[in-house]
Amino acid sequence: MRECKILVRSPADAVQSLLFVVMVVTLFPLAISPDPSVLAGIAAGLIWVVALLAALLAAERGIQADFADGVLEQMVLGNTPLWLLCLIKAFAHWLSCGLPLLLITPLLGTMLALEALEIYWMLASLALGLPVLSLFCTLGAMLTVGLDRSSVLLPLLIAPFLIPTLILGTQWVQSGGQSFYGYMLAALLSLSVVTLPLATGVAVRIAVSR
């Protein structure tokens, strides 16, 4: 896939997301408290907030270039279903932002004094929640591409829709893996996979027609 080839040739985007996450998680205990009991209490929420911010920062990555180069027009005019291409765009966002964060989560959990079982539930919540963030970020990027101050409009537009994922993911970890939150997060992921690529396809057509 084109998106994967771009990521392999230019891994700086993934490295940038990792550096942002590690820097925030490293500095946060210095500003609050190095006490393990304090860190463990806020670890799940902190990692999820950092994940949300990293996803927002990476939302426009590549979309603006595709808009300027005419790639979005080719997507609309091509024979491949537009919803599928949008799903691939979201997958590319997850590869460059979500997957690196998922891989480094055990280290982050250890830095924040999480127990092994809590790290396990942290990984489970991120595995279900990060794709949702990527789908919404891709939709937001397509809605704002080509607009003035799109980098300001994008988080204002989609941040409210990311809050449920943040809450469910954090509560799943803090509740010790209570199944209700896991089921709700899985349902949210299923609904997002079914509906958001279609909505993103509509947003692409709107962007191309401007």
Distance CA 10, CA 4 (A): 10
The 10 Å Cβ neighbour count of residue 57 is: 16
Distance CA 51, CA 133 (A): 9
pLDDT at residue number 11 = 61
Residue whose tokens read 């210095």: 30
Answer whether 174's CB lies under 8 Å from 122's CB.
no
- How far is the CA of 41 from the CAs of 29, 47, 53, 115, in angstroms? 12, 12, 20, 11
pLDDT at residue number 173 = 94
* Chain centre distance of CA 48: 10
pLDDT at residue number 71 = 81
Helix (H) or strand (E) holding 163: helix 150-174
Answer whether 158's CB lies under 8 Å from 137's CB.
yes
Residue-by-residue pLDDT tens, the chain, 210 positions: 555 565 555 666 667 778 888 888 888 888 887 888 888 889 999 999 999 999 988 888 778 777 777 888 888 888 889 999 999 999 989 988 889 899 999 999 999 989 999 999 999 999 999 999 999 999 999 988 877 777 778 888 888 899 999 999 999 999 988 999 999 999 999 999 999 999 999 999 988 886
pTM value is 0.89
The 10 Å Cβ neighbour count of residue 176 is: 10
Six-digit token string for 90: 């979201």
